[in-house]
Amino acid sequence: MTDAPAISARALRVQFGEREVLHGVDLDIYRGETVVILGGSGSGKSTLLRTMVGLEKPHSGEVRIGGVDLATASEREMDSVRRRIGLAFQGGALIGSLTVGENISLPLLEHTGLNPSTIDVMVRIKLEQVGLSGFEHYMPSQLSGGMKKRAAFARALSMDPEILFFDEPSAGLDPIMAAGIDNLILNLKEAYSMTMVVVTHELASAFLIADRIVVLDRGSIVAVGPAKELRESTHPRVRQFLDRVPDSDSDDEVDHLRLFTEGA
């Protein structure tokens, strides 16, 4: 970890129409660390991820990647930021009209002047890293959910990004496949010491891969800390999430009051 954060969010508010989804989020993510953003459905974790990669514009506040404020960046600046990040989407989001290999080579073809044979080799290396060797000629529709996610990882890795984002990497996978994905992230972490931001609601996987965990609840951060520290947290919402306790009505009211007093 070094001085300047790779990603920093300050008083970040995002709203869709009249509905505010993130209520002033402050977060620093440092180079080389793996941060897991943990939260339930509708907690705003996916919105936070989309805002950090510039797919959603903040309503107020700022997000900076490598010092560039995404809200005010020009198209050109945005492009240079985007070339330094990779995002693996939840459903893969592979381009359906291209083969797996073409999907992975796409950013290389578009952004580098590398010759096709070099790109071919790079595609094969990336596919091998995610355990999909030999699948470059398959169409995305021929792959299973887990394979799509792996192929999406390979594409996110193709430009050797400084920061890698994962949206729900193990959601919807069987436990064996999910463990495989966790392993993959751990391997990447060891091999490249990349900055990684993982959005998930899978507790086991979060504690396994995270250097730090951020718990997001109803659009606000309720806890940030190393995995071990978080496991011992006494914050009621964190405990509830970790102990898998369902919401009760009174809890809801208390939390709403808290949101009004702290979040506003």
b or e along 215-237 (b: 16 or more beta carbons within 10 Å of the residue's beta carbon)? bbbbbbbbbbbebeebeebeeeb
Is residue 143 part of the contact set for other proteins (CB under 8 A)? Answer: no
193: left (phi over 0), alpha (psi -120 to 50) or beta: left
Handedness of CA 246, 248, 252, 255 (dihedral sign): negative
Restricted to residues 146-205, the positions that interact with other proteins (CB under 8 A) are 155, 159
Restricted to residues 22-41, the positions that interact with other proteins (CB under 8 A) are none
Q: Please state, in angstroms and rounded to a whole number, the distance separating the CA atoms of residues 252 and 261.
A: 14
CB 7, min distance to other proteins, A: 14
- Applying CB under 8 A, the span of 77-85, 210-218, 229-237, 244-252 interacting with other proteins comes to 77-85
Is residue 253 part of the contact set for other proteins (CB under 8 A)? Answer: no
Nearer to other proteins, 78 or 259 (CB): 78
Which two tokens mark 219? 């659009």
DSSP element (H, E) containing 245? none
Is residue 71 part of the contact set for other proteins (CB under 8 A)? Answer: no
- Applying CB under 8 A, the span of 75-83, 177-185, 222-230, 251-259 interacting with other proteins comes to 75-83
Q: Residues in the site for other proteins, rule: CB under 8 A?
A: 50, 53-55, 78-80, 82-83, 85-87, 89-91, 93-97, 106-107, 109-111, 113, 155, 159
